[in-house]
């Protein structure tokens, strides 16, 4: 599991260049500050995936030949790595998915769908990514329930008191919220929201897409009911993710994707399902992706001391320095930064800022960040986001600030 944030002394000793050398893509001249969208992959991950493709490629759980057995062992071995990394009780609680969004959809269209009725309530936060907003919007509209929003406090934090008031009505069945906002950049107190929701008999799903690479994950300590995240935001490949769920809840769930090895038995007019987690993994599994994700978790576990605080320090420095530029507005508190900063530049569209930065070899995200309701609450339609990883440097933060200043001058 990733180490806790460390002391200033350890942070000062951390050398991002040593990490950067493990990433072949940095043979190109690029300041990759779009890590919240996708991280780059270290050589260790690339080699593991290549090894699987070259020597072990086969489908899992379907064949008695040697390659099939090797592929199955690799796939299930990766599941065990994930279970340890997140503190699951058992690998059987770990479902491999194509990513966070699919994991959320599995829950919203299965167990949640069967436990929500007319007049019931589902609460999400005002910070949610569309992937944790739209599935619940669709479910409540279909079932005649109500979608309620946990509002923001003036500083951008979630209003726990207002949420607790909403729980008092006794109609809340589900709560879905992000652990780390992909726009505001700070960590929400999901433990407090889980405790409050459970006290009212509601179940909780946590979107950990932006937390997985930076915040130690222990699902038992967090005390949520489901948790979803994506491999490509934590130095693994695209197309692989994880949905963790409590074993007793997974056993109650109907599958969302039907066909392939998720079945128990099929008759002409009836079918039964395999036990979890396999009933939720219909179709050909992404074995190579699971192998890569397992290696990425191993890489994260072996990061040098100070790596995570280094990332946070870069984000804080970027937020503080950008805020000193006239006409630049930082979204969210400047000091509470896990790994990213989003900002707006007066009189310059976010896409124009991003293009100027790209011309200087700096890659950032620009647009609505798949969080349009949140941006509208903040009074903006688009923003620029710079997000950091252990391979980023303070020189890149300085280049970012200079690039924003250049964009201001160009469009003045």
194, 224, 344, 370: the catalytic one is 370
> Nearest Cα to 338, choosing from 385, 380, 294?
385
DSSP label of 255: P
User: What are the CA-CA distances from residue 387 to residues 224, 260, 355, 382, 396 (Å)?
Assistant: 27, 39, 16, 16, 11
Spatial distance between the Cα atoms of 243 and 131, rounded to a whole number of angstroms: 14
Strands 203-207 and 172-178 come out as: parallel
Q: What is the b/e burial string over 83-100, where b = at least 16 CB atoms within 10 angstroms of the residue's CB?
A: bebbebeebbbbbbbebb
Spatial distance between the Cα atoms of 337 and 309, rounded to a whole number of angstroms: 10
3-state class (DSSP) for residue 253: coil
> Does residue 370 carry a catalytic annotation?
yes
3-state class (DSSP) for residue 174: strand
Instruction: State CA 354 to chain mean position distance.
Output: 23
The residues facing 284 across adjacent strands are: none
Q: What is the b/e burial string over 378-412, where b = at least 16 CB atoms within 10 angstroms of the residue's CB?
A: bebebbbbbbbbbbbbeebbebbbebbbebbeeee
Spatial distance between the Cα atoms of 266 and 26, rounded to a whole number of angstroms: 50
Annotated catalytic residues are 370
């Amino acid at each position: 599991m990733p180490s806790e944030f460390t002391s200033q002394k350890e942070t000062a000793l951390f050398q991002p260049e040593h990490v950067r050398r493990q990433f072949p893509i940095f043979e190109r001249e690029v300041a990759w500050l779009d890590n919240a969208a996708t991280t780059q992959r270290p050589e260790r991950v690339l080699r593991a995936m290549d090894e699987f493709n070259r020597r072990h490629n086969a489908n899992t759980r379907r064949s008695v030949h040697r390659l099939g057995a090797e592929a199955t062992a690799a796939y299930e071995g990766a599941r065990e790595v994930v279970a340890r990394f997140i503190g699951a009780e058992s690998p059987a609680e770990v479902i491999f998915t194509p990513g966070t969004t699919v994991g959320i959809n599995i829950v919203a269209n299965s167990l949640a769908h069967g436990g929500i009725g007319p007049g019931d309530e589902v609460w999400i936060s005002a910070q949610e990514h569309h992937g944790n907003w739209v599935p619940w919007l669709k479910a409540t509209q279909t079932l005649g329930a109500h979608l309620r929003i946990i509002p923001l406090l003036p500083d951008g934090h979630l209003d726990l008191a207002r949420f607790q008031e909403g729980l008092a009505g006794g109609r809340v069945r589900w709560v879905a919220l992000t652990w780390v906002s992909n726009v505001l950049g700070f960590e929400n107190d999901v433990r407090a929201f889980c405790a409050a929701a459970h006290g009212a008999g509601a179940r909780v799903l946590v979107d950990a897409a932006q937390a997985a690479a930076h915040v130690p994950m222990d699902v038992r300590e967090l005390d949520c009911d489901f948790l979803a995240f994506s491999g490509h935001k934590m130095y693994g490949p695209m197309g692989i993710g994880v949905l963790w769920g409590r074993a007793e809840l997974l056993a109650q769930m109907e599958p969302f994707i039907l066909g392939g090895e998720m079945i128990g038995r099929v008759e002409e007019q009836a079918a039964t399902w395999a036990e979890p987690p396999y009933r939720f993994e219909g179709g050909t599994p992404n074995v190579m992706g699971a192998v890569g994700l397992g290696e990425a978790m191993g890489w994260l576990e072996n990061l040098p001391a100070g790596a995570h605080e280094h990332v946070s320090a870069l984000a804080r420095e970027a937020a503080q320095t950008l805020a000193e530029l006239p006409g630049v507005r930082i979204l969210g508190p400047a000091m509470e930064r896990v790994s990213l900063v989003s900002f707006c530049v007066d009189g310059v569209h976010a896409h124009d800022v991003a293009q100027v930065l790209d011309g200087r070899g700096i890659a950032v995200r620009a647009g609505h960040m798949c969080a349009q309701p949140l941006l509208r609450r903040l009074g903006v339609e688009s923003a620029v986001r710079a997000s950091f990883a252990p391979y980023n440097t303070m020189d890149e933060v300085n280049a970012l600030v200079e690039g924003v200043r250049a964009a201001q001058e160009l469009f003045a």
